[in-house]
Amino acid sequence: MTADPLDPAGNSQLPAIAPVIMSGGAGTRLWPLSTEDSPKQFHPLTSDRTMIQETALRARAGGGLDFAAPIVICNRLHVREVRAQLSAVGIEPSLIVAEPFGRNTAVVAAIAARLVAERAPSRLVLLQPADHLIADAAGFVAAVARGASAHGRIVTFGIEPTEPHEGYGYIQRAEMIGGGVYGVVRFVEKPTRTVAQAYLSDGGYYWNGGIFLFAPDVMRREFDRYRPDVGDAAEAALADARLVDGVLELADESFARAPSVSLDVAVMERTRLAAVVPCDMGWADIGSWTELWRLGAHDESRNRLFGDVVALETVNSLVWSDGPAVGVIGLDDVVVVAAHGAVLVASKSHAQAVRGIAERLAARGRT
Amino acid sequence: MTADPLDPAGNSQLPAIAPVIMSGGAGTRLWPLSTEDSPKQFHPLTSDRTMIQETALRARAGGGLDFAAPIVICNRLHVREVRAQLSAVGIEPSLIVAEPFGRNTAVVAAIAARLVAERAPSRLVLLQPADHLIADAAGFVAAVARGASAHGRIVTFGIEPTEPHEGYGYIQRAEMIGGGVYGVVRFVEKPTRTVAQAYLSDGGYYWNGGIFLFAPDVMRREFDRYRPDVGDAAEAALADARLVDGVLELADESFARAPSVSLDVAVMERTRLAAVVPCDMGWADIGSWTELWRLGAHDESRNRLFGDVVALETVNSLVWSDGPAVGVIGLDDVVVVAAHGAVLVASKSHAQAVRGIAERLAARGRT
């Protein structure tokens, strides 16, 4: 047997992939750019393309893997935006699932498993958040290919930690199963800094990339076993949904009955089928402006400037404008963001507290 | 003779006053609030009223002095704004003089002297910048009354310095002439900090308040003596001017021939008629955001917040918004201004360099 030069790893022998993009997040950690009306995934944070565009583009034909057109699950307020942004990069979702409100990731995974099981049961579901940075798309596809070889497993992707990050979940790996895929000892939600530091020293711990790869029937069975309430809620939501013009609209009442729980808590922390693919693909969940400053290319003053910005005698700072002229002078370690008609100025060490600002302004009747 | 209970100082015996308000300033030191289109004097910086409203209101009947309705000299772009702002506080200017562009203060003084000499030659001209802070209006009127008693003099107002301010001009006083009015040894333009420190230690030096009180004929004669070119330019500008609907419109061509020189340089530094009234009236020429921060009432974190602002863990800072929601976290000694659709963020120690920002943005085609 001769190796295909376009597919030296022989990935075309692997199951085909059904990408499912979770675009339900409405975080305020990047306020005022990210708001409920216009969350993070719809903005070009790390390239000329928006996060959801990057997410859709990286799970396309490549490396011999067979990727179907994506299913996107998003808030119903964002259906038009999703379609417009994906269309702008030449991607037509096979389906958009419109949530009336957010219900965390477990029910999303259960819905995704059911939809793919009905439509193309031999495909693996690749469940991905719309708003994560993955700088190395080829590294990502290679990791997915390794995961696709782990038959019958629910595969997670583990990123080698470079610092004791308190904002991420961690995965402790067990023995290798084969082909660069490991078993899992346990999942840990955001640890303290001390604990995260110990993980870093001990080794064998990875950041939980929040991306999952699984056969739809495997996931359905694990829901039946551990959280049948979530599985039943997904079933009921799909039964009541209306398909209108390529959009599957979930009904308020039945979707409201789904417990708001994460896939990690509902299934991953309990299943014996968990696996982890360690990978190095330039992954980050950009959870603060300080993190966005850190991730990108800096100018000679270690600044990152976006938009109509003039910076004088300023170092180690991020200045972002979606329109207004912004002038800064004499700053060090500061984040300045003018977006959606509001302004944030934060010392970098306080930038993770931006949620408090957004909440106080909301309490005054602003968004 | 019995003292009038409403005029215990006997000020009603003094010459009547013709207030002239100089509103030609278009400084960018308070960018982005102050711009060429909408300079400092038209904003409420220190009270609910704008600086020009405060200026007009403080030179009104009070303390027994007879104040006429003011003459306002402003850029022709601002005629409507001047009228609207003064009308809003019940003041109708006796005349508005519209400059096609700024030509500094000497020609303004010469025009003011000629206008008052024609209309009411027995009145004294009280020439005042539209954009200075004077917190104690009664102290101001008392100082004007002292100055009005100094027959034949060009009276300036000297503020006891409280720090070695480099941004102000200084007046060194000579012997007392009488009634709290002193002769003048010399005028000094903005000194170095070392020199300003020496003035402060030596005593006998005052900040030059930029306000002048004089008989119109006295000023005309001093222009004839020291700067006949300025006097002639004023004469020519008035001859070519058109009076339209209460506005005296100066013609571009003749006004352009006026030398751009300050009254201090043209006359005050040379005349033997200079006098100074030392006074304590809460005066300041707000030349930077840092100064505005310093001048006002602070909250318990030593912040000054204006507009729709939320500040967390922030101290010693000024945050100003003319509309946008502004959130700040973790700042110390910082100025944040969102105004006219632009944003400034400066460390307080750099806030006087804001002009550089405004110029760079202007060079990009923004204002």
Query: CA-based Rg of chain A, rounded to a whole angstrom?
Result: 21
For an interface test with B, the pick among A303, A310, A320 (most B C-beta atoms closer than 10 Å) comes out as A310
- Is B343–A343 a contact, with Cβ atoms under 8 angstroms apart? yes
Task: Please report residues of B whose CB lies closer than 8 A to that of A315.
Answer: none
SS (H, E, C) B13-42: HCCCEEEEEEECCCCCCCCCCCCCCCCHHH
- Is A345–B357 a contact, with Cβ atoms under 8 angstroms apart? no
CA distance B306 to chain A (A): 14
Nearest to B328 among A326, A346, A349 (CB): A346
CA distance B297 to chain A (A): 22
A-B contacts (CB, under 8 Å): 144
Task: Please report residues of A whose CB lies closer than 8 A to that of B336.
Answer: 343, 345
Q: What percent of chain B has pLDDT over 70?
A: 96
- A300-347 residue pLDDT tens: 999 999 999 999 999 999 999 999 999 999 999 999 999 999 999 999
- B173-216 residue pLDDT tens: 999 999 899 999 999 988 999 999 999 999 999 999 999 999 99
- Is A321–B343 a contact, with Cβ atoms under 8 angstroms apart? yes
Burial of B280 (0-12, 13-18, 19+ CB in 10 A): exposed
- Tell me the average pLDDT across A57-72: 88
- Is A349–B338 a contact, with Cβ atoms under 8 angstroms apart? no
Asked if pLDDT for residue A6 goes beyond 90, the answer is no
Residue type, B285: D
Asked if pLDDT for residue B251 goes beyond 90, the answer is yes
Asked if pLDDT for residue B1 goes beyond 60, the answer is no
- B67-103 residue pLDDT tens: 999 999 999 999 999 999 999 999 999 999 999 999 9
- Is B310–A338 a contact, with Cβ atoms under 8 angstroms apart? no
How many angstroms separate the CA atoms of B207 and A68, rounded? 77
Of A229, A251, A19, A15, which Cα lies nearest the Cα of A130?
Answer: A19
Give bridge partners of residue A244 from the DSSP assignment.
Answer: A247
Mean pLDDT of all residues belonging to chain A = 93
Nearest to A343 among B324, B334, B354 (CB): B324
> Which chain A residue has the Cα nearest residue B338?
A343
Quote the pLDDT of residue A365: 66
- Is B329–A308 a contact, with Cβ atoms under 8 angstroms apart? no
Place of tokens 């990408």: A19
Quote the pLDDT of residue A356: 86
- A17-38 residue pLDDT tens: 999 999 987 778 899 999 888 9
How many angstroms separate the CA atoms of A7 and A27, rounded? 39
| ipTM of this complex | 0.84
Cβ-contact A283, A159 below 8 angstroms: yes
Q: When comparing pLDDT for A296 and A232, which is higher?
A: A232
For strands A342-347 and A334-339, give the pairing.
antiparallel
Quote the pLDDT of residue A8: 67
DSSP letters spanning B78-117: GHHHHHHHHHHTT---SEEEEESS--HHHHHHHHHHHHHH
Helix (H) / strand (E) element for A139: namely helix A137-148
Cβ-contact A347, A334 below 8 angstroms: yes
